[in-house]
Amino acid sequence: MKKIFSVLVTLTLVFSLLPTTFAVSESENLVNLALNKSYTLETPYQIDSHFSPVENGHPDDTGRQLTDGIFGGTTFSNKAYVGRIWQGSRVVTIDLEKNLTIQEISVNVLQDIPVGIFFPKWISYSISTNGVAWEDLGKVNNAISTTAKGPITHKIARKDINKVARYIKVEIPVASWLFMDEIEVLGTEDESGEKLIPSPNGPKAERGYPKPGSSQVRGIKNEVLIYTGEWQYQPSDWISFDKEDFKPYVSYVDKGMKRKDYMFDGFLFLPYAPQMDGSTFAPTGAKPSNKTHWEDYIDRLFRDEYELGALNEAVKEAKAELPNRNYEAKAVIAIPYPRPDQSNFGDVDGDGISENLNVSEIGEEKAHENRVKVVNWFIDEVTKRYSEEGYDDLSLVGFYWYNEYVSHQLSELDHELIQSASKYVKEKNLTFQWIPYYFARGWDDWKELGFDSALLQPNYFFHGNSTIDRLDTIAKAAYNQGMGIEIELSDSVLTSEAARKRYYAYLNKGVEHHYMIQSYSGFYQQVKTLLQAANSMNPAAREVYDRTYEYIKGTYQPIK
């Protein structure tokens, strides 16, 4: 399911006793100025109560492991390694104790994809003489293939600096696991280098939340996720929405199911990942989806009595009963992920040849070409079918990227695939949305990837030992990056007071951090959670629906 971090692999805490090696300068004239020096290792946000105990299995025991000159080889359990997991990035600040001439700064990192350890996309370097004014030396990109399974190590270095400084700062993005064993600062113990030039002071400009109803989100204020698909239980077609199912989503209804007002104005349709034949729409695991699965998904969307057809009729009925005739329901369609391990997707261009998307078989460039072809075919099919249906009470406003992280460990060109999809979507005069999970790979690159808007998943509801400050962190990170926040709930709110408390925490924080009013929102539910809440005879469960309506209308008052 959507909220399971498939890339998170629980790493063993048993440490290796393999021999260590010691740092040796490549130049006889340069020495490692950072050797045995003190440093701070910080996160940009509050330490997360869910992930910090996990990373404590690979701690900085001595407070000098990153400057002790000892490398850990290619075994992640070697005590020389310091392991850190998610939570945005890590900032290491080293004090050289006096001004010295800096020539090169490097961080040695590990990649071991099978256990979820990845090279960082880049490392940012800066230097200072006083710890206050800093010269930004820029970012150095990782130069090793993102698909190299490893284990393999790589020294990401900023060279040819020749500046005088005392303090060294490196910032390293952390998506899944980061393992680093040594930070070296090569130079000379004198002040023969050039004076540093402080960069402009002040934090990076804040972008703010995506405004509700703006052109950025094509007028959407509050969007709900709607899944469709068959499953192994009965009724097998339960993950479908008919006209009556949509009624309490389009309209706010009282306990007698009488319409009182409008509710959601955005409806994001997504395929339920597991398929009955053992395939999946997920980016990893099981068998990759193919053209038949994608066509079945399209067919499900355009049924007269379910999904888009049913939504159109539900809106028509609501408009006939409610006084505001200007309400517009806006549909967004998820683009499935064309997996780069699919060798036989199916023929999408009519040449009689099935598209091979498998990177390991035909290489990155050809696989990328075919994946682009598949995505464009899907967009064409959906827009064509939508035009043919002629819905008069529903507007198709955009597409959504189904995969919740940039899968660089699967394809080096994954970001280019997203950018290509963005370009094609915009050629259709539609918008492109994304909802990455908690600090997923590429979360802060959403704009560069070509998305018009993005929401960030806190995943607070699903991590039972995470504390409420997780929501503070995500609100701050989202605001700084111009993102909104996904609000999450499951069927457990219908029966569990603890689950309801966690759900209401999202709403409370929406008031505190102003994203209730200032941002468009997306609501993840466990298929039909809000429908069940609206129909429930249990006052506490029904209250979930009522308070959700209050939140959507901006009248919600925090629950103490």
pLDDT digits 0-9 by tens, 318-350: 999 998 778 999 999 999 999 999 999 999 999
CA pair distance 493, 44, nearest whole angstrom: 32
**pLDDT band at 529; cut points 50, 70, 90:** very high
Instruction: Tell me if residue 484 falls in helix, strand or coil.
Output: strand
CB-based burial label for 101 (10 Å; 0-12, 13-18, 19+)? buried
What pLDDT score was predicted for residue 13? 30
Residue 430 pLDDT greater than 60, yes or no: yes
pLDDT grade, residue 4 (50/70/90)? very low
Residues recorded for the chain: 560
CB 411 within 8 A of CB 363: no
Name the 3-class secondary structure at 550.
helix
State pLDDT tens for residues 271-329.
999 999 999 999 999 999 999 999 999 999 999 999 999 999 999 999 999 987 789 99
Write out the two tokens for 220.
């959407």
Q: If we measure between CA atoms, which residue out of 197, 334, 346 comes closest to residue 272?
A: 334
Does residue 490 contact residue 529 with C-beta atoms inside 8 Å? yes
What single-letter DSSP state applies at residue 379? H
Model confidence pLDDT, tens digit, residues 129-150: 999 999 999 999 999 999 999 9
**Stretch 81-102: mean pLDDT, rounded?**
97
Phi-psi region of 544 (alpha: psi -120 to 50; beta: other; left: phi over 0): alpha
Above 70 in pLDDT, residue 18? no
> Would the pLDDT of 535 be above 70?
yes
Reference 452, options 281, 270, 219; nearest CA is 219
For 252-267, the pLDDT digits (tens) are 999 999 999 999 999 9
pLDDT at 268 over 80: yes
Average pLDDT for 499-507: 98
Q: Which amino acid is at 193?
A: G
pLDDT recorded at residue 5: 34
pLDDT reported for residue 28: 58
Compute CA 362 distance to the chain's CA centroid, rounded to the nearest angstrom: 28
Q: Nearest CA to 235 among 527, 451, 453, 547?
A: 527
* pTM higher than the cut 0.85: yes
What average pLDDT is seen over the chain? Answer: 93
pLDDT of 29 reads 87
Token pair belonging to 533: 């809440």
pLDDT of residue 559: 84
Confidence of residue 560 (pLDDT cuts 50, 70, 90): confident
Is the pLDDT at 538 greater than 50? The verdict is yes
Cβ proximity of 374 and 355 under 8 Å: yes
Closest listed residue to residue 206, CA positions, set 554, 489, 513, 556: 513
